[in-house]
Each structure stands twice: as structure tokens, then as C-alpha cells.
Amino acid sequence: MSVLEKERVEQNDPIAHLDFEPSEATQRALARHSIDHLDFPVDSQAIAISEAPEDCEIQQKAARFIGSVATSATFELKAHASRFNSLFEAMQAAYHGDPEALSLVRLNVKTDVVERTIKAGHVIEVAVNVGDNGVSHQSGQSMYSVQANALKFAAKTPQMRARTEAEVTNHFRLEHYQRTGMLEGHSFVVFSCAPDDMTAAEMKQAGFFTDTMSCSIQVTTVRNGKLVTESVFVAGIKQPGGTRHDIRAVRAIAQSFGVDFSNKSVTEMLNSPILVSNENIQNGGVDIAERFDIEVDADSGAGSRATFFGQDQKPKNYITYKTECREREAAFKPKVDAITNEIVRLYPQMRDEVHACQMLNEISGKHMIEQAIFDYSIDPQVFGYLSAEDIYRARRAMEAGEVERGLEYMYRAKQNDQSDSCPGGVSGRTSESRDDDESCTFVSKKCPKCGAKNVLTTVTATKIKGTCGCTASKSKSV
Ligand SMILES: [Zn+2]
């Protein structure tokens, strides 16, 4: 780094981070170079990116970025910004009535709600927007600012640090292959298993849900001209405390693509994305989920198929299951809207980016506990052992029509919420506000009176009311 560059970093000049933006001519040359050199080896269907000739350069760029984050006191990347540099900025604009900002906040809330409550057996699709400068944005935030915040706040232990650095490097790799056009026709696939170098307690602390030891497989490609990431969540164990099957399955999948993962640790696998020709995974992420399940079954010696998304379930049709996942997400919409409105209304209380994340985490957790009391498809354990006990009690009380008692259990469950949507996230409770709202809202799949679907329903000690307009007094359900 030159003296001038160093000064820029020290002065936290945003331009200081821009040395990884090559000129257009260099980009074209790099693109040609990578296509020349990335011929698929004869016997393999995929390319191990970390072994590609240009990966060294990409890793160096990532390392410079990681270093620059470490040296800057407050991280900002105005030059890379999408319209909003962070979720915090989007919340501010949404508070002042900006509709685009509001939809970005809502997208963040939706992802949070899904990842918080559905730990395995799910595929979620997120569009990644690429700006004119070739920089990717997700949910309206520059990926650089997302990554910088993860490095600064989430990587609290050496193990989490190594994972976060691998994820940052993967973003540089992804951007490289997006720029060179490789992702039109290929998928960039990342295997993110739960850590194999942490104790269960350390994992819980870092926000992993150890009851499922879920593995997230991210599949990114260009579809209809748009960069899209599918995150596939498969269980790494079949029951809490069971033997992990995910690491062997991922190694076998890599093997089937002609890539050797046999001696890699979980963090090394995370740091070894592969490029798979879309002809080999025509249905995208679910094709990899299916390979995963086949490997788990083969490994267990089961004569027939007994695994679905890593879970102890008879396999369903993987392609139509995608539709089921989308319907599940659609059912959460009234809750997503309620959380979005609440978080935007609270914007004036937020101190900074981290505080904004903590508040979202907390509000979303409270709302989803309310949902879990009536929505039995949510495993109460995702909120932690203590909350789960009270959620079961609240369910029983509500079923018996003892609404007041149910609300009391709900309040206790909220106080002990341990759920988290982001492993290693910035979470931590702010918990200064007692939620004195004596009501509870949940999405009712169908109103028993008028038949309206996905109705946001409010339950108080004396009354039950749906957004469809139906009301009932103190009975079991609307
Ligand atoms: Zn109704």
C-alpha cells in the first residue's frame, strides 16, 4: 500500500477501498483470460474455483478489503453504495415515506422471518442486483457494507472469523464470475455446513440452530438476465443430538461433480465454491438438495429413500416442493408487513446500523413467537429451550380457550427469545423495552367465518379480530 493509500485508509476516505475496481480494459482482458483458462476438465462437471489460476488474485483483493475493514474505525462505502448504504439508511428513508426504501426493508424482514423460523426443508430465492459499477447489492445494501459489518461485528471468535473471511472472499469470487459472464450458463455453488470446530454451546452462542445442524447451500446464477441466489436449507442431522450426515454428503456431492473435498474441513469447504454447468442442475438448488438426500440414504445403507432435505421424511417431488416453499413464504406476508411497519415506525429510536439490526432481530423474534403459538408448522425450539416451553404452554392454553393465561406465557416466551436469523449475527438483545402491548397477532391460514386466506388476526384477552373484518369474543379461534 502506498503512503497516500495508507493515509486515505486512515482518514477513512471511501476511495481508499476502491483499488480493487479494475479499468474496463483490464476487466475485458480478465474475462478473456478466465474463459481461456477455465475449460472444464474432461472428467468433471464442475470447476473448483479455489484452484482456478485467477483465484490467487481474487483472494488478494479480498484480503486487502478485509485488511482495510480492520483499519478503519467506522466503515462506509459511499462510492459503492446502492441507493442505500445500509439497512439503517433504508429505514430512515422509509420512515420519511420513500416507497422503494420501504420495499427494501420489507425484503430484509421477509428473509429474516423465513431464516429465523424455517431451519431445514426450505428453498428461498433472492434476487441480487448488480449496479452499473458491477457491485452486487442484496436487499438494497451494498454487499461490501454487509460484509464489512459482518467482519467488524459478527466475527467474534477465530472460528467465526475464518468463516466470515471465507464468505467475504466468496463475494469477490462471485462478482468476478458475474463480470466475466460465466454465471450465464453456470451456477456458483457454496456449501455452508454448521461448524465442525466448535462445541454445541459455542455454536448456539454464535446463532446456529443445533437441533438441525442445518447446512445452507447457495446456488447463484443468471436467470432471465437477472442474478439470482437460491439458498437451500438441508438438515445436517435427523434428530437433535443425532450423528451428522451433512459433511459426508457434501463431500460425496463434490466428488460426483469431479471435485475433491475429501480432506477439507467445513471452513475449507465453505472457502471452496464450485462452478457447475446449469445443464447438470437444470432445476437449480433443489437438484443439489436431491443429490444430498441420495447421498445420505446411500451412506446410511437404507434400501429405499428415507431422506428429504436432510430430514427424516419420505421424499416428495423436489420441483413442485419449490412452489410449497413459496406458498409458505406468502403465508407470512401479513406478519412481514406488520414487522416492517413496526420497525419503520421505531426508526427515530435507532442509534446506528448495529442498533437497527438488533431492533429488527428483537421485533421479528417477538412477532414470530406470536405466530408460533398458533402456527404449529413452526418448531418452538428455534426460539431456544426456555421460550419453547412457554410456547407449548401458550398453545395448550389458547386451545383450551384460556386466552389470558396464553398471553401471559407468550409474554414470558418473548422475554427469553434466543432465535436468530443470521448465524454469527450482530444480534444480542437490546431488550430495554417492555412490550406492554397486551395483544398477540398471528397469520391465520383461513378465516373460519368468511373463508379469507392469510388473515392477520389479533388476539386480546377479550376479543379476537381478523383483518378480514370478522370478530369473535373470547373463543378458540377466528
Ligand atoms: Zn373473516
| Ligand 1 center–CA 447 separation, angstroms | 5
* Residue 352 sits in the same domain as residue 292: no
CA dist., res. 443 & res. 210, Å (int): 27
Q: Under a CB-based contact definition with an 8 Å cutoff, are residues 202 and 88 in contact?
A: no
Within a domain: 362: yes
pLDDT at 474 over 90: no
* Residue 211 sits in the same domain as residue 62: yes
* Residue 359 sits in the same domain as residue 224: no
| Ligand 1 center–CA 465 separation, angstroms | 8
Give the per-residue pLDDT at 25: 47
Q: Are strands 440-446 and 311-312 parallel, antiparallel or unpaired?
A: unpaired
> Grid coordinates representing 11?
482518514
pLDDT at 227 over 80: yes
Tens of pLDDT, residue by residue over 337-347, are 999 999 999 99
| Ligand 1 center–CA 392 separation, angstroms | 26
pLDDT at 383 over 60: yes
Q: Under a CB-based contact definition with an 8 Å cutoff, are residues 478 and 369 in contact?
A: no
The mean of the pLDDT values for the chain is 82
Q: Name the domain boundary from 309, 341, 376.
A: 309
Give the per-residue pLDDT at 280: 93
What integer is the mean pLDDT of 147-168?
83
pLDDT at 78 over 80: no
What integer is the mean pLDDT of 178-200?
94
- Tell me the three state secondary structure of residue 448: coil
- Tell me the three state secondary structure of residue 129: strand
Q: How many CA atoms, within 13 angstroms, populate the side-chain half-sphere of residue 347?
A: 18
Tens of pLDDT, residue by residue over 103-157, are 888 988 998 898 888 889 999 988 776 654 555 555 455 667 777 777 777 677 8
Give the per-residue pLDDT at 104: 84
CA dist., res. 215 & res. 119, Å (int): 9
List the beta bridge partners of residue 141. 138
Within a domain: 96: no
| Ligand 1 center–CA 96 separation, angstroms | 33
* Residue 285 sits in the same domain as residue 430: no
Percent of the chain beyond pLDDT 90? 52
Within a domain: 323: no
Tens of pLDDT, residue by residue over 305-338, are 999 999 999 999 999 999 999 998 889 999 999 9
Within a domain: 218: yes
* Residue 300 sits in the same domain as residue 370: no
pLDDT at 159 over 70: yes
In 139-268, the DSSP E strands lie at: 141-142, 186-192, 215-223, 226-234
| Ligand 1 center–CA 330 separation, angstroms | 18
* Residue 303 sits in the same domain as residue 349: no
| Ligand 1 center–CA 468 separation, angstroms | 5
Beta-carbon neighbours within 5 Å of ion ligand 1: 447, 449-450, 452, 466, 468, 470
Q: Under a CB-based contact definition with an 8 Å cutoff, are residues 444 and 459 in contact?
A: no
| Ligand 1 center–CA 253 separation, angstroms | 48
Parent domain of 214: 17-83+121-309
Window from 70-74, 104-108, 296-300 with minimum mean pLDDT: 70-74
Tens of pLDDT, residue by residue over 238-274, are 999 999 999 999 999 999 999 999 999 999 999 999 9
What integer is the mean pLDDT of 432-456?
81
What is the count of structural domains for the chain? 2
| Ligand 1 center–CA 443 separation, angstroms | 12
DSSP 317-335: -HHHHHHHHHHHHHHTHHH
pLDDT at 433 over 90: no
Within a domain: 11: no
Give the per-residue pLDDT at 29: 46
* Residue 270 sits in the same domain as residue 343: no
296-304 CB contacts, 8 Å cutoff, 24+ apart: 296/245, 296/249, 298/252, 299/245, 299/248, 299/249, 299/252, 300/245
* Residue 301 sits in the same domain as residue 372: no
What integer is the mean pLDDT of 78-93?
70
| Ligand 1 center–CA 332 separation, angstroms | 17
Tens of pLDDT, residue by residue over 344-371, are 999 999 888 778 888 888 999 999 999 9
Window from 99-103, 133-137, 162-166, 415-419 with minimum mean pLDDT: 133-137
